[in-house]
Structure 1
């Protein structure tokens, strides 16, 4: 079918936002430090709630935040180019290692942060219209004639790279060859009707009426339902574990380090959970509004792929799939006219 890419209008939640969150400074109880927080597009609501909790702690008294949200790769490149950041949270490890190479994040960021630097998890899901009119149950349904796919663009969005690798991985997990996986991705991109710059823009595009299925984070699907959007979502039998890394930059002060440590406490992880993220701290549970089953919000997929086990880590995956000249996905996007 013909390819018609529709870029969603960016909402006020996305883009580079210079926001001072959670009220004005209260310097009476602390140092009055400002944390410049730079993150990918989706965790804004969770962070603002966590910031409020942090400011009630001894370490957080008097601390204020300036926030910037946008596509993960764009945010990482902005920090590399000089955008001020004390704390970063991206959707890909490679967006952090870019800053390690630029001497803006210490090489030991994983051990310094704890939990291998991963602050929250999710999985790739398929978001459909209420009632699932196209009867989409899994990956193979996405490449049927007449099915319009919405997903962020791998050229700018970390979320899109998770999505694309999940799509590829389902073929391999079912015993397919790499040639068959390439064929699948080619049809996948041919069916793309909207490839916005970020995961949040992709959600906006879909809820504005574009496409039949949105390939997205589980937490984005849950957030959409929390906001009253008329959508359903499916956790495919084969999907990919999304791990979102966080780090303090070399310019980050004690407040940024304290905030990062706070992210792994039960109260902070509970806020990630309420926003639809899978906690990385054991024992953090609870009902999640908007989940398919609020009392059991995070089902275990039949096959849960991981970047480390199934793709050799992000360095190898980035080179094989997303290299700007020879990456498999890059070449498929060029061939299908979906690279921009």
Structure 2
């Protein structure tokens, strides 16, 4: 081999070595709209854990939006390795299309939900409208802000919270329940596509008297610095909806990309005590008993109602309430 060919061959080897050196495993996590700060804290912890365990670097990319929008993007071909959603139905939609395994909820503890929350009411300083319970949200003098239930799991929990309250109040009389939920929806001044947009509308743009969103988001708002001068207050109703945060590996994608092991461990990592403490620091209610006891004092005492205990399976709920021409569409069309 002449000198020119030797130099060329060495250059190719050097280029290959350089490419290998910068090559890095990555996964994409699609999550709900108000989870930005949470995963900004979780992801570096997992990267450190994975490096210590395997010696490999890992890059966790993030996508944030309303979970229904995320699910539709995945159906249309977005290559997501894991989903950390806030609504079972948005993972079930993926399972129905064989993108996620049918048994996804059985793969991890607590129906694959490592943490949970509920819907509470954020009101302005002094609670000028005297908001105490779901009934107050139906009053004509009260303006509401929460995301669009068509695009946001967060908002569907709000809808279900109102429905479950009315179901108990009216002893299951669906005509009266629909009327009540219609009054609540009729008071909404802004329907952003996701939870963070609702926070901006209420806290920055001064829209509405009440922001309905996850208790965790409201605690972060009240305890954070950004809106401290506005002195918002949280009202947790005596009864509210159980809002689980299910997670799943996107089987179709991880098998294509060869990322199943790291994607699975990323989700399992969220159940570890240290990460459960981190999640509790972002004001989520966690499933680890010890960590839950450590943080019990920060949460209001509230009766949490699982929608499936009253309204049937999540598939039944999706079909009846949130599908095209379902109850939600019917109420909003009135």
Q: TM-score, normalised by structure 1?
A: 0.84
Q: Say which SS state the counterpart of residue 296 (structure 1) adopts.
A: helix
Query: 1:88-103, aligned counterparts within 5 Å?
Result: 88-103=83-98
Moved more, 164-173 or 104-113: 104-113
* 1: CA distance, partners of 2:236 / 2:107: 33
Output one character per residue of 1:114-157: Cα deviation in whole Å (capped at 9) or x when no partner. 32111210011111012111111111111212210111111111
Residue 287 of structure 1 and its aligned partner are, at CA, apart by: 7.0
Taking the aligned partners of 1:172 and 1:125, their CA distance within structure 2 comes to 18
Counterpart position of 1:19: none
What is aligned with 1:84?
Answer: 79
- Preserved CA contact (<8 Å) 2:164 2:307: no
| 1:66 partner SS | strand
Shift of 1:175: 4.0
Residue equivalent to 1:4: none
Corresponding residue SS for 1:224: helix
Does the aligned pair in 2 maintain the 1:59–1:258 contact within 8 Å? Answer: no
Give runs of aligned pairs for residues 285-324 of structure 1, distance below 5 A.
285=292, 296-301=297-302, 303-324=303-324
Q: Deviations over 1:144-172 (max 9, x none)?
A: 12210111111111111100010111112
Aligned equivalent of 2:5: none
2:110 is matched with: 115
1:211-232 residue CA offsets vs partner (Å, 9 max, x unmatched): 0001111011011113232311
Name the SS for the 1:264 alignment partner.
coil
Partner of 1:5: none
Do residues 225 (structure 1) and 222 (structure 2) align? yes
- Per-residue Cα deviation, 1:5-24 (whole angstroms, up to 9, x for no partner): xxxxxxxxxxxxxxxxxxxx
Runs of 5+ consecutive residues of structure 2 not aligned to the other structure: 1-19
Does 2:40 align with 1:44? Answer: no
Q: TM-score, normalised by structure 2?
A: 0.85
1:165 aligns with 2:157: no
| Cross-structure match for 2:333 | 334
Secondary structure, aligned partner of 2:77: coil
User: Of the candidates 201, 207, 211, which is equivalent to residue 208 of structure 2?
Assistant: 211
Following superposition, the deviation at residue 323 of structure 1 comes to 2.1
Once residues 33 and 72 of structure 1 are traced to their aligned partners in structure 2, the CA distance between those partners, rounded to angstroms, is 25
In structure 2, distance between residues paired with 1:59 and 1:86: 20
More helix by share: 2
Helix, strand or coil for the counterpart of 2:185? helix
Task: Name which of 35, 38, 58 aligns with 2:27.
Answer: 35
Q: How far off its partner does 1:59 sit?
A: 3.8
C-alpha displacement at 1:32, in angstroms? 3.1
Please point out which of 273, 281, 284 is paired with 2:288.
281
State the SS of the aligned residue for 1:107: coil
The one of 182, 188, 192 aligned to 1:186: 182
CA–CA separation in structure 1 for the residues paired with 2:141 and 2:165 = 21
Cα distance between partner residues in 1 of 2:35 and 2:223: 14
Measured against aligned partners, the alpha-carbon deviations of 1:184-219 in whole angstroms (never above 9, x if no partner) come to: 111112211111111111111110200000111101
Runs (4 or more) in structure 1 with deviation over 6 Å come to none
Distance 2:53 2:135 in 1: 50
Indicate if the aligned counterparts of 1:76 and 1:90 stay in contact, CA closer than 8 A: no
Shift of 1:73: 0.2
Q: Secondary structure of 1:133's partner?
A: coil
Q: Which runs of 5+ in 1 are unaligned?
A: 1-26, 289-294, 336-340
Larger Rg: 2
Name the CA distance, whole Å, in 2 between partners of 1:226 and 1:104. Answer: 39
**How much does 1:112 deviate?**
2.0
